[in-house]
A and B are shown apart, each in its own frame.
Chain A
Amino acid sequence: MARKTFQGWLDGEYSSPVDVPASDVALIVVDMQNAFLREEYSLGIAETQEPFAAAIPGTANLIAAARLAGVPVIYTRYAYLPGNEDQLSPTGRLEGTPLTPRLVEGTVDIEIIDELAPEPGDIVLDKSRPSAFYGTRLEPFLTAKGIRSVVICGVTTNICVETTARDASQKGYKTFVVEDAVGEAELSRHWHALYTIEFLFGTVCTVADVQHSWGAPVTGVPGYPLKRGENVTNLAWLETAAS
């Protein structure tokens, strides 16, 4: 087998359709919150919210497929305690700068966006760190339900999605990250994060792969512009007549 390279992958290697487990599996929707996805609550980590908003249609499709297939849906929220006691102090080049309270429990920032509102029976987990595993009840839930595979989507690809995927992989979960249902501020970071996952930590798949594997109608994400081997640099949403 040829050695994997970032460029080869970006050119389309390892993009064949892949089966995603349909049993003992959960969907983890990472941080699809007002703070990341709504202009008026921007955290100021992207030029616009567009790169993060790109994750919304794919995530909505995954949630629909999961509900149809009876796959548990777990939402994570990046949320600090009301007094921000669990936020890390600035260090290194930011040492001495004051903490800015944000992502505070109980504020509108940390709520899941309306389009993806959790339903009764869904699990919503608040976390203080990028990884959904660290300091949360995610693993107690997964082990209680006998879940051995996770399908991850949401934001941001390079930070919370990737950290969660690294942790899931280390813990032995079969880990799938859905490339047309995640978003990152900069495309080079988006692609490097996904490549890192395919290199070692898990499998990069598409919404269509998940829909197919879970027996849901295969729609993919109509109009989603990024595709390895074709277009990896222009996120401008294509005007297509979605069927």
Chain B
Amino acid sequence: MERKRHLKTFDTWMNGTDGEPVDVAAADVALIVIDMQRGFIEEEYSLGIAPTQEPFAMAVPGCVALVESAREAGVPVIYTRATNLYDHADALPRRGRALSQPETARRMGEHSKDVEIIDELTPLPTEYVVDKSRPGAIYGTRLEPLLVGLGIRSVVICGVTTNICVETTAREAHARGYDTYVIADATGEAEPSRYWHALYSIEFLFGTVAMVEDVQRSWGTEVTGVPGFPLQRPGVGSAALAAVV
């Protein structure tokens, strides 16, 4: 059966299918750096959703490399911040099973330390910062007016967390017809199985999973990849690059 030969599965993907280098759009493209905020990345501001901040912090070197590449290539950089309005007026009420649990501390209030972008990724005055109340960067924000204003038709997405804000944003971008790239070695998630399933969901339908080195090559900047990035599929990315070079 011909169609069976092309059946995508999570297992074959984990073993390296759809892992070859891929070209990333170089024109009419923007880099979207999702929620690289103290609240997620730094121990002392932990939101308590990962055992340590390590799984989120692993996105930092890749995001730094992408931002440098974008600046050199003249690609606009847009940072998002998860935050809530004064008194958390835009936060959703608790529901479902959370109703029977003690109320958790309110985090990510506007103007708090939590909300600031980490120092390594400090936006330039010429770059854009978009605040959002929900996981998706498009829902209820100025992101889409900005993209349309800039004539952007492709988005390269990195940041945290892979399964929640990065994946929701990729699903939103896909629905609107943006050519959507998510950069595997520039995102982070609390649990590896959720990291991999989020990326597979994206490659299955919503966009293209690429590596930092794919972006660097496509944008004509120095190809460094992310040496030592802890989560790798066999034969994909830096490992494969090293073998070829």
Contact = CB atoms under 8 A, between A and B. Distances in A.
A44 B201 contact: no
Contacts of B168: 166, 170
A92 B204 contact: no
Interface in B3-44: 3-4, 6-10, 18, 20, 22-23
Interface in B163-216: 163-164, 167-168, 171, 174-177, 179-181, 191, 193-194, 197-198, 200-201, 204-208, 210
B149 interface: no
Given A1-B102, A44-B7, A18 B97 contact: yes
A16 interface: yes
Contacts of A171: 139
Contacts, number: 115
Nearest to B1: A44
A189 B200 contact: yes
Nearest to A187: B10
B227 interface: no
Contacts of A47: 4, 7
Interface string A83-100: 000001001110100000
B51 interface: yes
Contacts of B198: 192, 196
A45 B191 CA distance: 26
Contacts of A188: 10, 193, 197
A158 B18 CA distance: 19
B87 to A, nearest CB: 17
A10 to B, nearest CB: 10
A167 B104 CA distance: 24
A189 B171 CA distance: 16
Contacts of B174: 88, 129-130
Given A130-B175, A192-B194, A3 B164 contact: no
B10 A186 contact: yes
User: Which of A42, A92, A199 has the most chain B CB atoms inside 10 A of its CB?
Assistant: A92
Nearest to B51: A3
Interface in A188-233: 188-189, 192-193, 195-196, 198-203, 205
Contacts of A44: 3-4, 6-7
Contact of A6 (B164, B191, B204): B191
B208 A130 contact: no
B101 interface: yes
A195 B189 CA distance: 14
Given A6-B191, A199-B164, A189 B177 contact: no
B159 interface: no
Contacts of B242: none
A93 B18 contact: yes
Given A1-B102, A47-B7, A135 B175 contact: yes
A131 B171 CA distance: 9
B49 to A, nearest CB: 7
Given A42-B3, A93-B22, A16 B97 contact: yes
Contacts of B164: 196, 199-200
Contact of A18 (B7, B96, B167, B205): B96
Contact of A189 (B102, B163, B201): B201
A202 B208 contact: no
Contacts of B197: 188-189, 192
A130 B205 contact: yes
A25 B180 CA distance: 34
A107 interface: no
A172 B92 contact: yes
15 contacts: A3-B50, A6-B194, A16-B97, A44-B3, A45-B7, A130-B206, A135-B175, A166-B168, A167-B139, A170-B139, A188-B193, A192-B193, A196-B167, A198-B97, A203-B97
Interface of A: 1, 3-6, 14, 16, 18, 42, 44-47, 88, 91-93, 95, 129-131, 134-135, 158-159, 162-163, 166-167, 169-172, 174, 176, 185-186, 188-189, 192-193, 195-196, 198-203, 205
Interface of B: 3-4, 6-10, 18, 20, 22-23, 48-51, 92, 95-97, 101-102, 104, 134-136, 139-140, 163-164, 167-168, 171, 174-177, 179-181, 191, 193-194, 197-198, 200-201, 204-208, 210
Top 6 closest A-B pairs, CB basis?
A92-B208, A203-B96, A44-B3, A192-B197, A170-B134, A134-B175
